[in-house]
Amino acid sequence: MKSIKNESARRLRAQLAKVKGQLAESEATMKAIRSGEVDAIVVDGPKGSRIFTLQSPEEPYRILAERMNEGAATLTPEGTILFCNRRLAEMLEVPAEQLLGSSFIPFLRQQEQVGFTELVREALQDSVRCEGHLVREFSGPLPVQLSLSAIPFEESGQGICLVASDLSDRKRVEEATLRLGAIVNSSDDAIVGKTLEGIVTSWNGGAEKMYGYSAEEMIGQSVSKLIPAGGLDDFKAIIENVKQGKPVRQYDVVRVRKDGEEIHVSLVVSPIMEASGEVIGSSSIAHDISAYKRAEERVRKASRYTRSLIEASLDPLVTISRDGTITDVNESTEKVTGVSRQQLIGSDFSDYFTEPEKARSGYQQVFAQGFVTDYPLAIRHTSGKITDVLYNATVFRNEQGEIEGVFAAARDITARKQAEKARTRAEESLCKLNAELEQRVEERTAELAALNKELEAFNYAVAHDLRAPLRHIHGFAEILADEAAPNLDDAAKRHLETIRDSVQHMSQLLEDLLNLSRLGRQELRKQPCDLNELIGEVMAALKPEAKDREVEWRVAKLPFIEGDPGLTKQVLFNLLSNALKFTRPRHPAIIEIGQTTVEGEAVIFVRDNGVGFDMKYMDKLFGLFQRLHRQQDFEGTGVGLAIVQRIVNRHGGRVWAVSEVEKGATFYVRLNVCGVEKNQPAAAETAVQ
């Protein structure tokens, strides 16, 4: 290994020395050529020396090469520059003279050098092309495209023709394009290119996100699938503008996403022109403004809602600026003032009140304190009509928290005031009425007291003074009958008897009347009464009357009632004695006493099988001194049932009767039964059964 290495090293050194020698020779030659000292250079090649002269047949190509815009050189297969044009020298920033005879390879970036030598070998077979960078002394690497092709040398075989095209401009464009592409692609805005027919030619990431279609789905498709029904006309108008090259405009339009959702976009459309200025398509940048639109809609809705509330308010509402100028009003304000909105706004708030000064100090107070509550003012309508109002006002502030104005709401209190007046009037008249009434009551009470007193006196007089003559008549008739008996015939005796009977009857009438009168004045002493006990007492009292008669008493168990025991007993006595009286023709007389329920209420009844009465005289039944039977058939004064009714009424009860001539009668009395509807209604019912 070592020997081989050594050998190749020796050989290489020899080669290097040879090349250096050749190079020095070439340099001298080239210098001579450049300076014009020589006409030709001789280059030693493997196939012997070659001579290059300016006047060689290659002269026309050399001139062409010098004129080229690309860098050009001819190289040996090893890379030595045999010729280079000025453009290449410029590109390398080295004088052309220095380049001749030097190797081209060191002018490439290190990493490109190996590849280049390989490429040179390939170029000997076929033309090749590659990109690389030329290392320059002063500037940075210059991107170039290198084209290599073999050229035959006359004597020494093949050489390489190299053309270097400056790529820096193109690279810049490419980089800019790439950067732009990245920007376009990373934009959230949808950036879409399309032909004038609306066929999509480019579709960025923003468009994919915004519309939901991928670039693959959209490119080549019509953009119209994004346009909602009814939006095509707008679209056509936009395209028309673009075609005419009109200035770029911004449009707010609605577009449809792939998922069908409509979105609001702000669209900027610009024409795409060819170098010639001909419009070949359009590009659009769309910004999704749906969220903004929604927010805007919300605000608009909220504001519409607020406004409608304000307008709907029956209270006149105004806003006032610091100097007292009205800045806004609602419909109620127009109505109450009779002035239109346009006129109101900008006018002085205090102009519309009966007391402008008071109105002014009112809003000044609001600015000073922040609010007023129930501030009374009177609004004057253009017609002169005055509306009493109470103002409630507060300041409102702008976003910076500064007081911007006063918001004032008036409450119409005309109705309230009128109501107050009416109430006061009503109260006054009520007071007056009350006073009158009280006085009248007093008078009446006094009158009544006097009447009562009179009545008492009357009763007393009746009791004493009317009875006395009766007593006397009876007494003397009796004495007469006694003492004159032997001298009297039968007719006279009968007449005396009639006198005494009449006196007796008159006396009974008086007695009953006094009783009835006493009932009206007597105080009720209500307490629970056992009706069974009272019935027992009454029956005992009636025993003499029932004597020698066939009477069948049917007495059911009766309840306790709440009432005056004495008066209740009187009721039972009168009813039972009536029953006894009117059953006199019956054998047996049947008298039934019991309890029943009428219209849900406990009722006591007394039923007999007596002569009864005609119901058409019902209204007379309980009347004072009213009798439905002849005196010779059934004696009586016509007071008993009147007494019954008075007592029952005074107890808050009711008495009525049902009868038919010759078929008996039933008297019903509704009294206040103890326990019913209170403690044990069921027990009361059972008691009946």
Q: Which of residues 438-467 bind another protein (CB under 8 A)?
A: 459-460, 463-465, 467
Our finding on whether 479 is near another protein (CB under 8 A) is: yes
| Of the candidate residues 294, 425, 472, 495, the single one contacting another protein (CB under 8 A) | 472
The verdict on 308 binding another protein (CB under 8 A) reads no
At closest approach, how far in Å is the CB of 468 from another protein? Answer: 5
Stretch that binds another protein, among 224-232, 322-330, 503-511, 544-552 (CB under 8 A): 503-511
The yes or no reply on residue 478 touching another protein (CB under 8 A) is yes
Nearer to another protein, 503 or 669 (CB): 503
Distance in angstroms (rounded) separating the CA atoms of residues 192 and 180: 14
DSSP secondary structure string for all residues of 191-213 = EEEEETT-BEEEE-HHHHHHHS-
Residue 523 interacting with another protein (CB under 8 A): no
Kindly state the smallest distance separating residue 456's Cβ from another protein, in Å.
Answer: 9
Of the residues 54, 199, 470, 688, which one makes contact with another protein according to CB under 8 A: 470
Which residue, chain included where needed, has tokens 């109002």? 389
**507 binding another protein? (CB under 8 A):** yes
User: Which stretch in 93-101, 175-183, 472-480, 628-636 sits in contact with another protein by CB under 8 A?
Assistant: 472-480
Q: Minimum distance from CB of 515 to another protein (Å)?
A: 11
Distance CA 312, CA 335 (A): 12
Phi and psi angles of residue 363, each rounded to the nearest 5 degrees, phi first: -75, -25
Residue with tokens 């909602």: 228
CB 265 within 8 A of CB 253: yes
Buried b / exposed e across 313-345, counting CB within 10 Å, b at 16+?
A: eebbbbbbbeebebbbbbebbbebbebeeeebe
**Spatial CB neighbours of 270, under 8 Å, sequence gap ≥ 6:** 242, 248, 282, 283, 284
Q: Tell me the C-alpha distance between 575 and 591, whole Å.
A: 10
Nearest-approach distance from CB 599 to another protein, in angstroms: 38
Minimum Å gap between C-beta 576 and another protein is 24
Which C-beta is closer to another protein: that of 98 or that of 507?
507
474 binds another protein (CB under 8 A): yes
Nearest approach, Cβ of residue 597 and another protein (Å): 38
**Nearest distance in Å: CB 600, another protein:** 39
Stretch that binds another protein, among 153-161, 268-276, 498-506, 530-538 (CB under 8 A): 498-506
Is 51 in a helix, a strand, or coil?
strand
475 binds another protein (CB under 8 A): yes
Q: Looking at the DSSP assignment, which residues form a beta bridge with residue 265?
A: 253, 288
If the CB atoms of residues 29 and 570 are measured against another protein, the closer one turns out to be: 570
Q: According to the binding rule CB under 8 A, does residue 503 interact with another protein?
A: yes
By CB under 8 A, tell whether 13 contacts another protein: no
Q: Is 317:329 a contact under the CB 8 Å cutoff? A: yes
Q: How many residues bind another protein (CB under 8 A)?
A: 20
The interface region with another protein, picked from 73-81, 149-157, 499-507, 546-554 by CB under 8 A, is 499-507
Q: What is the DSSP letter of 223?
A: G
Site for another protein contains 502 (CB under 8 A)? no
DSSP 595-626: EEEETTEEEEEEEE-S----GGGHHHHTSTT-
H-only helix segments in 140-167? none
Which among 121, 20, 128, 131 is positioned nearest to 76, based on CA atoms? 121
Q: In 3D, which of 365, 203, 419 has the Cα closest to residue 377?
A: 365
Shortest CB 662 distance to another protein, Å? 35
Q: Give the binding range for another protein (CB under 8 A) out of 121-129, 290-298, 322-330, 468-476.
A: 468-476
Q: Which positions touch another protein (CB under 8 A)?
A: 459-460, 463-465, 467-468, 470-472, 474-479, 500, 503-504, 507
